Amino acid sequence: MCGMCGDPVHPIDYRYGTDEMKSIWSERSKILRMVDVEVALLKALAKRGYLSEEEVKKAEEVAKNVTPERVKEIEAEIRHDVMALVKALSEQVEKVSREAARWIHFGATSNDIIDTATATQLRDSVAIIERKLVELAKILVDKAEKYRKTVCLGRTHGQAALPTTYGFRFALWAAEIARHIERLEELKPRLLVGQLSGAVGTQAAFGDDGVEIEKDVMEILGLRPAIISSQIIPRDHYCEYLSYLANVSATLEKIATNIRILQRAEVAELMEGFGKKQVGSSTMPHKRNPIDCENVCGLARVIRGFDEPQRQSSILWEERDLTNSSAERITLVESTVLLDHILTKMIGVMERLEVNEENARKNLERLGGINLSEAVMIELTRRGLGRQEAHELVRNAAMRCYETGKSFAECLIEDDKISKVLSHDDVTRLLKPENYLGTVEKKIENVRSYVMGVVEKALNSLNNQKV
């Protein structure tokens, strides 16, 4: 927000991101989560007799009264954000229990509170991301099934290749999204960790109770304790998370890019859904632009741009320095909010996506079967010719087709060596796209089984997760 004018400055404030995700990373949410960590510490201390559970309950009731405004007011005086929070919390707790206030932040260091609160934000964020990945995977599997027999032109290097089906394309994307779901499940145990380590990680203030106090705090918050940490959680945890977001963003951009390519006027096989009152251009009324896919592509590049700054934030002096702090206020927040944004966009794109099966057929047939040259070469080889000889014969026929404008079938049959092996009916059969799809349907079915298995496991995990 602009301090002087009160208007938002960053596009995340007014254009990008869902309210659900932004609420997790808001300033108020961060402060309340840090307060939750402090209260969890009081509970763990009460369990060991430092103070009574009754005093902790009094503290917990008023802890929610801590406001960002008061914290910032104190920080302006003392120039330390966590100590400002501790003072603001103590002010509230002292009103109801001086005994509980006495133990606030006992044995903790600043990043015990910051990093553990961040872990709760990450926990709730990845739950949202995973649910949306599951939703997208299911949509793609449904489309793979719906269009499993919709034959279309495959392209490599942007040029005509063998036929495939739109079901196969959707299945490819579905499997990639499912792998991201699996990666996230594998990542969560390493990412969703907190700490109560003290000044340099030794938990010296707690004596022999440090490990158990830390364990109790994390259990209250629904986290795991880090195996070991210095004054901060080692940043390889966050680096892995940013790399994961970058990887997902690359997949979403790939899907969006291919939709854009296939929506081009001269192809027109796919089309983003277009609202009845939607405007495509301020000057060309006919335009139907793939703006959501373009939005995904642009923001995916921003997300990947945060990967390197986060890696630099892992390189800290000894037990810690402060170079990571300012960067992570940006990298973690913006990458998470933007990934959720483009994932939401892609779900919407897929739900409304139009597949023009007629145009897909026209684009396929326009080539007159020349893209099925491999099918002819394979059949010639099966009937006795050497594979290399068959390749050269078919290649020459294809080149004559380009040069003369004759049909591919004509150019094949007029070659004596080919016509001795293949009849006109043979050539006609070989140049039908439906006859050269290999194991497309088996692959689609394999993907369906794989994806739905991944989805079921992910939903079970999410339903058992404490948020």
Q: Which residues form the catalytic set?
A: 157, 281
Q: Which residue has the tokens 């692959």?
A: 443
Alpha carbon 96 to its chain centroid, in Å, reads 45
Write the CB contacts of 169 (distance below 8 Å, at least 6 apart in sequence): 152, 258
Name the phi and psi angles at 53, rounded to 5: -65, -30
Please report how many Cα atoms fall inside a 13 Å half-sphere around the Cα of residue 365, on the Cβ side. 7
Residue 144: which H helix or E strand, with range? helix 110-146
Contact 89, 106 (CB under 8 A): no
Closest among 343, 130, 158 to 250, alpha carbons compared: 343
> What span, in angstroms and rounded, lies between the C-alpha atoms of 182 and 451?
10
CB atoms within 10 A of CB 2: 9
Alpha carbon 104 to its chain centroid, in Å, reads 38
CB atoms within 10 A of CB 194: 27
Name the phi and psi angles at 416, rounded to 5: -60, -40
> What span, in angstroms and rounded, lies between the C-alpha atoms of 163 and 442?
16
Residue 269, Cβ density class (10 Å: 0-12 exposed, 13-18 middle, ≥19 buried): buried
Provide the 3-class DSSP secondary structure of residue 155: strand
